[in-house]
């Protein structure tokens, strides 16, 4: 018989840490903590395989499940001395989701399950605390009605707010037992009115309703969005964890909290967290009340006027600190822990590897390696390369004037300026319109996830450092200020009141997630510097990395930026990008629109010194590192004059009539420019273009070698080659120009000529092309277009649908299509190196900065990847991880 349920508690468990795929992350860790002998409320896990069965069998359960659940409930009762559904001594449980990958706040939870009009009296009598019992009951009705019955949570909040206003109450803690009794009656009346049937009293009906709701929440909109963003497969499913309730809302000797064993924002090796006395877990993360700090040190640093857990509950705090050390040493990683104190007794509800910022991730990995907890190679493998983006964005210029209008908690580091928006829809619309926006909310909830993604920063009035907004923002590297209690947010009116001034939608503010400041207007930013732990980790990464990492750059600024990030040369200099400058485009248009060689050579003579100076600067900045220069490859439509003023300007420069130029432009018009007169086709039809560029490259190489004292070996790349014959024709012109410059300058030039493999035919005929080419660079942007038959400029309208429907696992322009485009790359590598064993191989499309594509390049045997400057650190780390993976 298939085992669908795994129990835990009382110092033992049927599962353990390695069973995450079956038990989910939460279930596996609850089992592991039980096996470690830690104080874990007993419970059981319904496996992820039940979720798979549930969706494969029309949302039904395996026939053996009910009996296994009943047996597990009986075991919890044996351990606790209570019975589920018993009128005198009832066992109450929580029902929580638990996927194998952490998805905070995305799926549903129900607490206090098992309460009804009978058991609430038993709980009140057993606890000698009637207020606690009825508070728990109203929480259960609210949560169960929202999650299981589909009665919106907001209806209950409206009833509560109205009641508190009528009674003159401010906080929920002001309400007494009689108040909660009254509200429970109103809540149940609401359910009856909304559904036409009463709130369920049978605990077993409640339990199966909650289990079904958790499985159903695996396919809710916010969970689907989160999985899509984090590449979590839908077929993984979720487990369900049913656990004996422990109560943090039993009075002043009870509390609940969330803590990290190290600071998830900075990585500091210090306990970091929050707790609330007389509360349940939802109160901490939902921002309903502003939490208190865990430690005295945190209270002092935050200037909190409320006692820390260390001060209010010293014995429980001391035990908790000891357990955090055990867990971090056992899991060998920073832990995110949920706990409850019930009548001064500490209970551990969850542990998992904590989400953290890139800055914290680096510091934690490096310090753990220094401490001997993990190896240097493990430290390299711990960092998500994509997360380094968080370190590569602007922060507020320390010299800039700051007009502070409010201050909250520094929930997620970094800074952002933008127009105020108040809803997720407004945030998405603003981003779609090309605006930078700051999402301002009372507090965020999982329903806000799309707006949070669209926003550049998030500001909330409520919530703490572990609130939904804070956790999600840190995971995405977005700046966030939470708990800015002095501001007033009116969503309906579209206003933010801060610092005595009213701000409306569209007004610009700046938030600093590192300090918690909210500032008026747009503030100057500065670029980050990568040093300290980053430099140390990168040194370890470079020590295991096989592939080189170059950059795509054609301006001195980009080249310098890339060098500062550790680029080992230029893998793609797109020479056509050098001519969009206002001072150059006229000469470029003259060259394109000339209808004879004489006119083209006259225009090229103007461009030659510009190109030579461009190349000289790049060679000098790279100081002996390789520089690959792609010959002119412009889709001509990008350079043709369009307006009458532009036509007139070029006509004046050429001494020709505007009418003649318009006619010439019409001759050059193409229906499909990306597959038209570009690349090597230009150099073959007009060899003088390749000659000018080759001369500029060689003369610049001579000058740069003299100025730097470093040898310069240009790599000249011929684009869009489909045949060896094309390459040979262009290469002959390049070689001839090299000989001419050698003779004129009295030097011996060292250079290489290669090609960009960006057409399927070139990959298939790579062996033949390698007879002439000294290197290949795979241009996977165009290779993807020409292989799949998709224009990347027009694909946005349907590629998202393709990904959603599983046709593509991911956008093939973001991560290389390994089965299709990748197969052509593999063919090109194999056939090219068979012909020329020392053939240098690289990739220079946008895929050169994508970690999954870099791993493919490592497996395929490429020598280097090339990417945009700000992706260089990501590529260095990803290449190191790929090399480590290849060694396994």
Spatial contact of 632 and 689, defined as CB atoms under 8 Å apart: yes
Nearest to 407 by CA among 306, 507, 487: 487
Q: Would you report the helix, strand and coil content of the chain in percent, each value rounded to 5? A: 50, 15, 35
Distance CA 469, CA 95 (A): 23
Q: Whats the size of the chain, residue-wise?
A: 888
- The DSSP symbol for 675 reads G
Listing DSSP states for 419-435 in one string gives EEE-SHHHHHHHHHTT-
Cβ proximity of 76 and 42 under 8 Å? yes
Measured distance CA(309)–CA(271) in Å, rounded: 12
By the 10 Å C-beta count (0-12 exposed, 13-18 middle, 19+ buried), 344 is classed as exposed
Alpha carbon 552 to chain centroid, angstroms: 23
Handedness of CA 697, 698, 699, 705 (dihedral sign): positive
The span from the CA of 290 to the CA of 283, in Å, is 9
Contact of 444 with 458, CB cutoff 8 Å: yes
List, in sequence order, every residue forming a beta bridge with 776; answer none if it has no partner: 755, 841
Residues 251 and 231: their CA atoms lie apart, in Å, by 42
On the 0-12 / 13-18 / 19+ scale of CB atoms within 10 A, 860 is: middle
The C-alpha angle 405, 406, 408, rounded to 5 degrees, equals 160
Cβ neighbours of residue 203 closer than 8 Å, sequence gap 6 or more? 84, 85, 90, 113, 114, 116, 119
> Which residue shows structure tokens 């207007």?
521
838: phi then psi, degrees, rounded to nearest 5: -95, 20
Annotated catalytic residue: which of 468, 680, 847, 857?
A: 468
Residue 794: how many other CB atoms lie within 10 Å:
9
Kindly tell me the number of DSSP H helices and DSSP E strands found in the chain.
34, 34
Q: Which helix (H) or strand (E) holds 95?
A: strand 93-99
Distances from the Cα of 843 to the Cα of 21, 778, 871, angstroms: 35, 5, 14
Distance of alpha carbon 360 from the chain centroid: 15
Told to judge if 153 belongs to the known catalytic residues of this protein, a careful annotator would answer no
How far apart, in Å, do the first and last CA atoms of the chain sit?
A: 37
C-alpha to C-alpha distance for 220 and 445, rounded to whole angstroms: 14
Query: Do 773 and 727 meet the contact criterion of CB atoms below 8 Å apart?
Result: yes
Distances from the Cα of 717 to the Cαs of 249, 700, 714, 721, in angstroms?
A: 70, 16, 9, 10
Sorted by sequence, the CB contacts under 8 Å of residue 881 that are 6+ apart come out as 380, 381, 385, 541, 851, 855
Separation of alpha carbons 603 and 589, rounded Å = 9
Measure the CA–CA gap between 383 and 364, rounded to whole angstroms.
10
For residue 630, give both structure tokens. Answer: 């792609």
User: From the candidates 480, 844, 857, 867, which is the catalytic residue?
Assistant: 844
Q: Which residue has the tokens 């505007």?
A: 658
Give burial (CB, 10 Å; 0-12/13-18/19+) of 714.
Answer: buried
- Whether residue 867 lies in the annotated active site: no
Half-sphere exposure of 292 (CA within 13 A, CB side): 19
* C-beta of residue 769 within 8 angstroms of C-beta of residue 724: yes
Which positions are catalytic? 468, 844
């Amino acid at each position: 018989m298939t085992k669908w349920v795994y129990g835990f508690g009382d110092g033992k468990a049927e599962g353990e840490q390695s069973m995450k795929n079956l038990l989910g992350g939460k279930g596996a860790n609850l089992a592991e903590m039980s096996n470690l002998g830690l104080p874990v409320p007993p419970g059981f896990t319904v496996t992820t395989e039940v979720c798979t069965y549930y969706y494969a069998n029309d949302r039904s359960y395996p026939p053996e499940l009910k009996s296994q659940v009943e047996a597990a409930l009986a075991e919890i009762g044996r351990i606790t001395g209570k019975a589920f559904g018993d009128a005198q001594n009832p066992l109450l449980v929580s029902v929580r989701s638990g996927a194998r990958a952490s998805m905070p706040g995305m799926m549903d939870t129900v607490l206090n399950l098992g309460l009804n009009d009978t058991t609430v009296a038993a709980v009140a009598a057993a606890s000698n605390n009637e207020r606690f019992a009825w508070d728990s009951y109203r929480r259960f009705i609210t949560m169960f009605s929202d999650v299981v019955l589909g009665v919106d949570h907001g209806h209950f909040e409206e009833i509560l707010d109205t009641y508190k206003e009528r009674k003159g109450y401010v906080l929920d803690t002001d309400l007494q037992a009689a108040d909660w009794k009254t509200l429970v009656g109103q809540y149940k009346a609401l359910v009856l009115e909304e559904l036409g049937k009463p709130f369920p009293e049978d605990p077993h009906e409640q339990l199966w309703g909650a289990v079904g709701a958790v499985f159903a929440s695996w396919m809710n909109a916010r969970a689907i969005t989160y999985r899509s963003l984090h590449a979590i497969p839908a077929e993984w499913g979720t487990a369900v964890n049913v656990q004996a309730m422990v109560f943090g809302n039993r009075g002043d000797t009870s509390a609940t909290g969330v803590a990290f064993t190290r600071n998830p924002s900075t990585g500091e090796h210090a306990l970091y967290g929050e707790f609330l006395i007389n509360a349940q877990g939802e109160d901490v993360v939902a921002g309903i009340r502003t939490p208190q700090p865990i430690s005295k040190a945190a209270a002092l640093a935050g200037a909190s006027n409320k006692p820390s857990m260390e001060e209010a509950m010293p014995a429980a705090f001391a035990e908790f600190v000891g357990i955090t050390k055990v867990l971090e040493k056992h899991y060998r990683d920073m832990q995110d822990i949920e706990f409850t104190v019930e009548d001064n007794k500490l209970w551990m509800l969850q542990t998992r590897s904590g989400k953290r910022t890139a800055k914290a991730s680096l510091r934690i990995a490096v310090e753990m390696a220094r401490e001997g907890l993990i190896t240097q190679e493990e430290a390299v493998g711990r960092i998500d390369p994509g997360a380094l983006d968080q370190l590569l964005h602007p922060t507020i210029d320390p010299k800039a004037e700051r007009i502070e209008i409010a201050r909250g908690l520094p929930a997620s580091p970094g800074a952002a300026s933008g127009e105020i928006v108040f809803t997720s829809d407004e945030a998405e619309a603003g981003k779609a319109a090309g605006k930078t926006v700051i999402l301002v909310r009372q507090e965020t909830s999982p329903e806000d996830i799309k707006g949070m993604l669209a926003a550049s920063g998030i500001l909330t009035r409520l919530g703490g450092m572990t609130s939904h907004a804070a956790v999600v923002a840190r995971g995405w590297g977005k700046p966030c200020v939470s708990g800015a209690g002095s501001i007033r947010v009116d969503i309906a009116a579209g206003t933010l009141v801060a610092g005595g001034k009213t701000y409306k939608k569209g007004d610009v503010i700046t938030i600093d997630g590192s300090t918690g400041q909210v500032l008026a207007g747009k503030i100057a930013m500065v670029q980050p510097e990568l040093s300290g732990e980053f430099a140390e980790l990168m040194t370890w990464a470079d020590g295991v990395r096989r592939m080189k990492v170059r950059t795509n750059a054609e301006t001195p600024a980009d080249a310098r930026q890339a060098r500062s990030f550790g680029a080992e040369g230029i893998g793609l200099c797109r020479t056509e990008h050098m001519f969009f400058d206002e001072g150059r485009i006229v000469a470029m248009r003259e060259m394109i629109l000339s209808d004879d060689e004489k006119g083209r050579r006259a225009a090229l003579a103007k461009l030659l010194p510009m190109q030579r100076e461009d190349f000289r600067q790049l060679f000098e900045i790279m100081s002996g590192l390789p520089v690959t220069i792609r010959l002119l490859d412009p889709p001509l439509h990008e350079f043709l004059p369009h307006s009458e003023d532009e036509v007139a300007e070029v006509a004046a420069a050429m001494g020709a009539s505007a009418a003649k130029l318009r006619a010439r432009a019409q001759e050059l018009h193409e229906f499909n420019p990306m597959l038209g007169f570009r690349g090597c086709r230009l150099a073959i039809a007009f060899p003088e273009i390749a000659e000018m560029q080759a001369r500029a490259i060689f003369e610049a190489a001579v000058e740069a070698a003299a100025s730097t004292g470093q040898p310069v070996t240009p790599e000249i790349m011929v684009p869009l080659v489909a045949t060896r014959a094309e390459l040979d024709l262009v290469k002959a012109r390049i070689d001839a120009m090299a000989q001419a410059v050698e003779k004129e300058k009295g030097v011996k030039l060292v250079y290489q000529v290669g090609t960009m493999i960006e057409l399927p035919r070139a990959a298939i005929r790579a062996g033949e092309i390698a007879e002439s080419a000294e290197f290949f660079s795979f241009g996977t942007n165009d290779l993807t277009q020409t292989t799949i038959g998709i224009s990347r400029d027009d694909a946005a309208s349907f590629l998202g649908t393709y990904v959603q429907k599983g046709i593509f696992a991911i956008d093939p322009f973001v991560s290389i299509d390994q089965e299709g485009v990748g197969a052509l790359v593999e063919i090109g590598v194999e056939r090219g190196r068979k012909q020329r064993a020392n053939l240098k191989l690289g990739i220079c499309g946008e895929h050169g900065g994508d970690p999954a594509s870099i791993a493919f390049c490592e497996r395929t045997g490429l020598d280097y990847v090339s990417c945009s400057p700000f992706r260089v650190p990501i590529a260095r780390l990803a290449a190191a991880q790929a090399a480590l993976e290849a060694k396994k």
